[in-house]
Structure 1
Amino acid sequence: MTPEVPAAHLTDSRALGTLFASPEVRAVFTDQAMIQSWLDAEVGLARAQAGLGLIPVHAADQIAASASAAGFDLGTVAAEIERTAHPLVPVIRVLAERSGAAGAWVHYGATTQDITDTGLVLQSRAALDLTEEFLRGLIAALTVLAERYRDLPMVGRTHAQHALPITLGFKFAVLIAETGRHLERLAQLRPRVLVVQLGGAVGSMASFGPHGPELLARMAGELGLGTPEIAWHTSRDGFAELTCALSMISATCGKIANEIRVLQRTEVAELEEPFGLGKVGSSTMPHKRNPMFAEFVLSNAILARQAPAGMLAAMVQEHERDMSMWGVEWTAVPETFILTAGLLQRTTALLDGLVVHPENIRRNLHQLGDLMLSEAAMMRLAATLGKAEAHEIVYQAAMQAWDSGRTLKDILLENERVRSEMDAGELGRLLVPESYLGTCPEFVDQVLANAKEAGRG
């Protein structure tokens, strides 16, 4: 057996890999797992052919009994791939040799891409199962937070400035809805992506005679995959869609981590990522409690969302087949799965241990005093004065409040038009952040109910 090759990529790094990669999904895409997926595809083909009488049943049984990647010497396989300049032929030769006389029926009538594509589909199915599990875990963590903070008023920010009040639960509910759509996307793409590949040399299935369509369906059944309507050797939209969906999940995780990071700023201090004694924020400033986990998630999200560009380029294929773009998929699909699953696990851990500081949230909510409620005053005046005039009145008052430090209420009450529409008591009641939450709590309830009904909550 060949010695272990030292890791040279972040996802395989023993030092840094735990910060970025999912070990469970990484195991799906090891060399051994890849070869096993090719062997599984060969077994599915052989059993389907035996069922149609194209090869002897005993040959299919022997091929299946010999199709274990556990005993493959990866060093020898690698050397043969380099020598032959072919990714699959060395594996086929080993399988045929192990199968004895039955080896004559290995890879009967198929082309390389039939096996490597089907293998990557099998790996993608296993990785999708794990990714969906991790995504559900993220939704569960968001659900706990949305329920817990359904009614906690906080500053809603636009353009990084105080805008209007929302609730913290509302912020989490927005993310529940978004991640729920990701879950739907994964379910919807499965029948388009998880299909067998079997077309022979140019997709015509000529090597299988009149049995081609039935053989295709039988092979799909043997492997638990869908049956495509035609060979997809040069139609790479399935893997491109898959990669795009994973990258969107990664972007959502990055957004969550960034929100935690910016709300952990010292002058904001509303949220804080999990902290335990021993976690070091700085090698030179012992007092620092940096959002390191959130920052790792952010960098991971950047890496994970690079793949769609390459996959879209790989869709531009020539004629009926060639190998030019295979390497793009062999890199982008596993890497995106591994990074995305790692992101989901890290982001869920962030949320599970998230520290919320209600006292700081309330402090920031009242930082502008009543100035943040300018819209409430404007909408009340607009009901009788019209939007344009109401906006101008409140705008002028708000700008004076900014410059003078006086309250918006006091300045508005100096305006005769305002006094003709409402008294100081009504205006004072309008300019309270906790009373201008719209339907934030109700939206939380609706999102949670929808998630439960869809089986996500």
Structure 2
Amino acid sequence: MPGHVIDSEMFGNSYSTPRMREVFASRSVVQSWIDAESALARAQADVGLVPREAAEEISRRGLVDDFDLVALGEGIAATSHTLMPFLRRYQELCSEEHRGYLHWGATTQDIVDTGTALRMRRALDIIAEDLAAVRERLRQLAEEHAETVMPGRTHGQQALPITFGYKVATWLAEVDRHHQRLAQLRPRVLVGNLNGAVGTMAFVGEVGLEVQARALGDLGLGVPEICWHSSRDRVAEMAGWLAMAGTTLGRIGREVYQLQKTEFGELEEAFPEGRVGSSTMPQKRNPATSESIVAKAVILKAQAQLGYDAMMQEHERDKALWQTEWEFLPEMFMLMGGITADSRKVLDQLVVDGDRMRRNTGLTGGLIMAESIMLKLAEVVGRHEAHDLVYDISMRCAETGTPFADALKADVTVRSVLGEDAIDRHLDPLRYTGLAARMARAAAAPPG
């Protein structure tokens, strides 16, 4: 078994997806370095810094299949240098006349950081696609179940009636905010860096800024206002967004898991033929995908701290903390890829039992409607007296099992103020969901 579960032939697809793993595979890393070096050479040719023929050859010779990944790994181990084995092989592929112009004026971190930005863009495109599908499905559920009454719970206990559409709308609003944050952070984070050794462009001189702008524009990346070799706030922001968005989806997965418990039975993951819940209990229908989402979200958010640690760089560059990004950032993206893909699957096939939700509002014998009764009493006897009166009745019902309606009708004050018909009317959960349905439909409305 590989050293990391994401790379495991047996368990890898439980933690990420083949599509996301490919983005961060060694082959993709090398390709991103080739792309950065080629764009740099072309930009330098545009301003006359290197011969046009050299730039064309560097671009033409940059074929990832011509790089032996195992040999590169051995070279990195032998040299203790991240990029030199790659550069030496790239030079071998170019003619003697032109190979000297490869990596002209660049430093290792320029190429590695720019390559990372290219791979982050690919990864974010995948995540954004999944997140858009999650948002659309949440809109559908919020609209479809805007009036599906269910117990609202606080502190793990039934509190007041809500609707399932309202609950979903709160999920949707949170996911929408992450969508907005992603749109805002992309221009800040998807930025390259081609500034040279300490970021001053001393090697290339006056044309340095133009070269950087041309090269990064060619790659479709943003241009930094100044070198960010040791300013790693971009990485920390990316890690923070992944952790927040992933944890939101983890929260949704946890709610599905909770509401599928036998005692609730309000939601259920689809359970297709062939899925197995237990090796010994044939009846089990476990929410395995939701559990997996929660597990990945817990790991993901724990990695975010490393993004902040990586910000504490020394001087103009520092490999000690920089290289931590090579481990935690790909892992975070791959975990997030697994979370978004699993979330799509769970939500697309989610089974909603509206009848069970409605029945569950009666589990407390009517106590879920205590506030509704208190409100009507308060209109006559005042809020505080009404609270104390309903509190005493509620506590007796909880301790004796007496139905709330019976206890209310047996109380002289309540009966004289409300009457038995009004008591029954105000114990109907459908009458006390507030603006839940309206809020659900508003959240579900297509953005205008």
Is the TM value for this pair above 0.5? yes
| CA distance in 2: counterparts of 1:34 and 1:355, whole angstroms | 41
SS at match of 1:163: strand
1:47 aligns with 2:42: yes
Match of 1:23 in 2: 18
Match of 1:14 in 2: 9
| CA distance in 2: counterparts of 1:416 and 1:135, whole angstroms | 56
| CA distance in 2: counterparts of 1:50 and 1:442, whole angstroms | 61
Q: Write out per-residue CA displacement over residues 217-269 of structure 1, whole angstroms, 9 at most, x where no aligned residue.
A: 11221111111110001111111111111111211221111111111111221
Give the partner amino acid of 1:228. P
| CA distance in 1: counterparts of 2:52 and 2:66, whole angstroms | 24
1:307 aligns with 2:313: no
Residue number among 258, 282, 287 corresponding to 1:286 in the alignment: 282
SS at match of 1:162: strand
Matched residues, number: 447
| CA distance in 1: counterparts of 2:54 and 2:170, whole angstroms | 56
Match of 2:64 in 1: 69
Match of 1:133 in 2: 129
Shift of 1:127: 0.5
Matches within 5 A, 1:417-428: 417-419=413-415, 421-428=417-424
Residue number among 335, 341, 350 corresponding to 2:331 in the alignment: 335
Matches within 5 A, 1:11-160: 11-100=6-95, 101-160=97-156
| CA distance in 2: counterparts of 1:443 and 1:409, whole angstroms | 30
Give the partner amino acid of 2:28. A
Q: Write out per-residue CA displacement over residues 194-215 of structure 1, whole angstroms, 9 at most, x where no aligned residue.
A: 1110221111111121122222
Conserved 8 A contact 2:149-2:354: no
Match of 2:226 in 1: 230
| CA distance in 2: counterparts of 1:92 and 1:385, whole angstroms | 84
1:206 aligns with 2:207: no
Q: Write out per-residue CA displacement over residues 7-30 of structure 1, whole angstroms, 9 at most, x where no aligned residue.
A: 332111111111111211111100
SS at match of 1:338: helix
Conserved 8 A contact 1:196-1:219: no
Which deviates the most, 385-394 or 223-232? 385-394
Residue number among 331, 347, 353 corresponding to 2:349 in the alignment: 353
Give the partner amino acid of 1:165. P
| CA distance in 1: counterparts of 2:151 and 2:248, whole angstroms | 21
Which deviates the most, 61-70 or 113-122? 61-70
Conserved 8 A contact 2:140-2:444: no
| CA distance in 1: counterparts of 2:355 and 2:368, whole angstroms | 19
| CA distance in 2: counterparts of 1:383 and 1:66, whole angstroms | 83
Conserved 8 A contact 1:173-1:447: yes
Q: State the identity as a percent.
A: 43
1:453 aligns with 2:447: yes
| CA distance in 1: counterparts of 2:43 and 2:109, whole angstroms | 18
| CA distance in 1: counterparts of 2:25 and 2:292, whole angstroms | 24
1:406 aligns with 2:420: no
Q: Give ranges in structure 2 of 5+ residues lacking alignment.
A: none
Conserved 8 A contact 2:139-2:443: no
| CA distance in 1: counterparts of 2:441 and 2:25, whole angstroms | 43
SS at match of 2:159: strand
| CA distance in 2: counterparts of 1:443 and 1:22, whole angstroms | 35
Calculate the TM-score normalised by the size of structure 2. 0.96
Conserved 8 A contact 2:142-2:165: yes
SS at match of 1:206: coil
Shift of 1:447: 0.6
| CA distance in 1: counterparts of 2:414 and 2:359, whole angstroms | 29
Shift of 1:419: 4.4
Shift of 1:416: 4.9
CA-based RMSD of the aligned residues comes to 1.5
| CA distance in 1: counterparts of 2:137 and 2:2, whole angstroms | 33
Shift of 1:415: 4.5
Shift of 1:310: 0.9
| CA distance in 2: counterparts of 1:150 and 1:453, whole angstroms | 18
| CA distance in 2: counterparts of 1:435 and 1:356, whole angstroms | 21
Shift of 1:356: 2.0
Q: Give ranges in structure 1 of 5+ residues lacking alignment.
A: 1-5
Conserved 8 A contact 1:167-1:441: yes
Give the partner amino acid of 1:60. A
SS at match of 1:316: coil
Matches within 5 A, 1:342-381: 342-381=338-377
Conserved 8 A contact 1:270-1:358: yes
1:172 aligns with 2:168: yes
